[in-house]
Structure 1
């Protein structure tokens, strides 16, 4: 009994007991973290989607540059495939978009159309921008099934 009284009188033990968090303080801290997460997660998702869109637009233009430099006007006569690295976006790592070259109807049947289709199981599988399309004349568009599809300019810009 005497040892217990000595422990209770020890100032270090008393300080340890008063420096702990109360349940109310813990609940307030958790509420603040939950509010921050409620704002941060949607912003992070939008930022990531924007980054994927910028990457696929860059990949489409790189593929078009490759086709033009390597006689891309012939691409309309047969289906031409893109080399490894240019057939996906991003060029390395986890594939988010697959790029395809299709025959196009422009430029005396020598045109081409590059389509970037999101991987269905990927992070952009259900994106409102859908499939990115660039033809040999430089016309950009998006093919989507969304009811409220964004304007093509919103999908192709870095905003």
Structure 2
């Protein structure tokens, strides 16, 4: 009794591996999933960076209110607000929701996505009002919200974006 084995080229032989059609199907499915997931993820990343800018502006407004209560005027000097060293000047960058000065090394290893500026309004011998802005930098520059604006009365608005302030703040 002899057992005949079929040759390797015989289609009835045991097959191993994937066909080209199976591999192409998997690649197409992965491409579709990536095309849906990546833009959605990018939107969440931009929203998280916007949150950091808003947090920095609200912190700056609280520091300005404290300075006004103690000294009777607003200031455009970061060191008087406890933000940075004596050589620091606005505009400053936002690192992880905190305002820092890259020139002094504060946050220099991280990427800044917003830059904060302060404009003061003179009222007699004192600065009676301020407006703080957080302008997007780098890849955040194409964000649909644009520049965040917060003034001394707590009014929140946007400049240069395509979305209304209510959707961004």
Compute the TM-score of the two structures, normalised by the length of structure 2. 0.70
1:118 is aligned to 2:129:
no
Structure 1 unaligned residues grouped into runs of 5+: 1-5
Alignment correspondent of 1:154 = 167
Q: Which runs of 4+ in 1 moved over 4 A?
A: none
Shift of 1:105: 6.8
- The number of residues matched between the two structures is 138
Aligned mates of 1:128, 1:154 — CA distance in 2 = 10
Provide the C-alpha distance between the structure 2 equivalents of 1:35 and 1:52, rounded to a whole number of angstroms.
27
Q: Which runs of 5+ in 2 are unaligned?
A: 99-106
Residue aligning to 1:50: 47
Distance in 1, Cα, partners of 2:19 & 2:122? 72
Structure with the largest fraction of helix: 1
| 1:1-159 equivalent positions in 2, closer than 5 A | 18-71=15-68, 74-75=73-74, 79-81=76-78, 83-84=83-84, 87-89=92-94, 90=96, 91=98, 92=107, 93-104=110-121, 109-119=127-137, 122-144=138-160, 146=161, 149-156=162-169
Q: Once the two structures are superposed, what CA deviation does each residue of 1:71-99 show, in whole Å capped at 9, x if it has no partner?
A: 37522xx6333623993323342100011
User: Counting strand residues as a fraction of each chain, which structure ranks higher?
Assistant: 2
RMSD value, Cα? 2.9
> Conserved in 1, the CA contact under 8 Å of 2:67 and 2:73?
no
SS in 2 for 1:60: helix
- Is contact 2:115–2:136 with CA below 8 Å preserved after alignment? yes
Contact map agreement 2:57 2:150 (CA 8 A) in 1: yes
- So what's the TM-score if we normalise by structure 1? 0.74
